[in-house]
Structure 1
Amino acid sequence: MSLYTFAKNLVAVILFPVFRIKIIGKENIPKEGPVIICSNHTSNFDPPVVGITSPRDIYFMAKGELFEKRFLGKLLLKIHAFPVKRGMKDRNALRRGLEILEEGYTLGLFPEGTRSKTGELGRPLAGAGFFALRSKATIVPCAIIGPYQPGKRLKVVYGKPMDMEKLRNSKASAQEAADAIMEEIKFLKENHSP
């Protein structure tokens, strides 16, 4: 068993009962081929929650500072995280993300780039649009709904795959693609909120 699988199982055993996690639309995630899962972002729990509710192993970007501590950096790499320098265009991170998709794996992205303090959706950065337009990956929007409070229900909703061909054919910008992805996340959030 890989460290990723061990960590995923361990975290699932803890978080599923604590947050009473309910998954909706898991069947919308393709079983094979490159996939980008794009989710809203309100908590540090979001990456592990998306990780344990997805049937696919997911690679996430993590802020570069976390990799400066040798032990933590090695651990993060083993559980499929890779560094990104925030606040600037990080060509290495963009290249690594495209490599992951070219190899047929799943990339997890939070288009807002940082956590929302209010729980409201923020404006997305262009990064998610860049990966959506530059790869042949299937884009699956995801909405995490509910408070991270023990005993309260947390919903993780995976939407239907998005058709990015129109945007690619019309030479849309990365920002336009990111905005379209965020609209889908907003739709899921509004239609599945209590």
Structure 2
Amino acid sequence: MEFYHFARGVVASIVKPLYRLDIRGTEHFPKDAGVLVCANHTHNFDPLALGVATPRPVNFMAKAELFAAPVLKGLLPKVNAFPVKRGLSDREAMRTALRLLKSGEVVGMFPEGTRSKDGKLGKGLAGAGFFALRGDADVVPCAIIGQYKPLRRVKVIFGQPLAMAPFRERKASAEEVTAAIMQEIQRILDENENSKG
């Protein structure tokens, strides 16, 4: 964990001034419960911005191919990343994410599964809803707004946690829960993206 905080500090010292990082809504972030943070995804730097903005250490799923790279395979676990095989039902990654959530940690997810090509929010995958229902954790929607141009503002805006109890009580599907999460991310985008700065 010491290395995580060191690495986060280094990244923050670069990202915050370079992209005038504007972080909002951290008061909504649960202080000690397990949290699933779900954000839109338009740029490769989104995990860096989300990791810097989130007030608690974040665990990210990262595509398994990255863990095959000589430098990254040693570095990624130290910054709380764990591998997921994309396009497959990766049971090990699912177990890891659920274990982290149930033990009170934070897991960051981009429900679209890949970067948006046109900058618009795409359809979320059922995995987000699955973890939201099974993880016994709070679900925090997040909107990342900006194009990562030097000295142009990038906003990271956390919304209020979504209540999962009603979905669990009526045995909602993972797809329905994902749709509700994406709707909330879209609402935050609509309310904030007209003033990119």
TM range (shorter): over 0.9
Where does the alignment leave 5 or more consecutive residues of structure 2 unmatched? none
C-alpha separation in 1, matches of 2:191 and 2:136: 28
Identity %: 52
Residue equivalent to 1:18: 18
Task: Give the aligned residue type for 1:143.
Answer: A
Residue equivalent to 2:141: 141
CA shift for structure 1 position 69: 2.5
Residue equivalent to 2:127: 127
C-alpha separation in 2, matches of 1:2 and 1:185: 32
CA shift for structure 1 position 103: 1.4
CA deviations on 1:90-129 (whole Å, 9 max, x unpaired) are 1110000001112110000000010001110000001110
3-state SS of 2:71 partner = helix
- Map 1:44-193 to 2 at 5 A: 44-193=44-193
CA shift for structure 1 position 72: 1.3
3-state SS of 1:38 partner = strand
C-alpha separation in 1, matches of 2:156 and 2:72: 28
CA deviations on 1:56-99 (whole Å, 9 max, x unpaired) are 00000000001112431121011100000001111110000001
Where does the alignment leave 5 or more consecutive residues of structure 1 unmatched? none
Task: Output the TM-score relative to the length of structure 2.
Answer: 0.96
C-alpha separation in 2, matches of 1:106 and 1:170: 25
Task: Output the TM-score relative to the length of structure 1.
Answer: 0.97
C-alpha separation in 1, matches of 2:170 and 2:102: 23
Task: Give the aligned residue type for 1:68.
Answer: A
C-alpha separation in 1, matches of 2:4 and 2:39: 20
CA shift for structure 1 position 50: 0.5
**Alpha carbon RMSD of aligned pairs, Å?**
1.0
C-alpha separation in 2, matches of 1:61 and 1:176: 22
User: What is the total number of aligned residue pairs between the two structures?
Assistant: 194
C-alpha separation in 1, matches of 2:77 and 2:131: 21
C-alpha separation in 1, matches of 2:144 and 2:31: 21
Task: Give the aligned residue type for 1:184.
Answer: E
Task: Give the aligned residue type for 1:153.
Answer: R
Task: Give the aligned residue type for 1:125.
Answer: L
C-alpha separation in 2, matches of 1:13 and 1:5: 12
Residue equivalent to 2:41: 41
3-state SS of 2:23 partner = strand
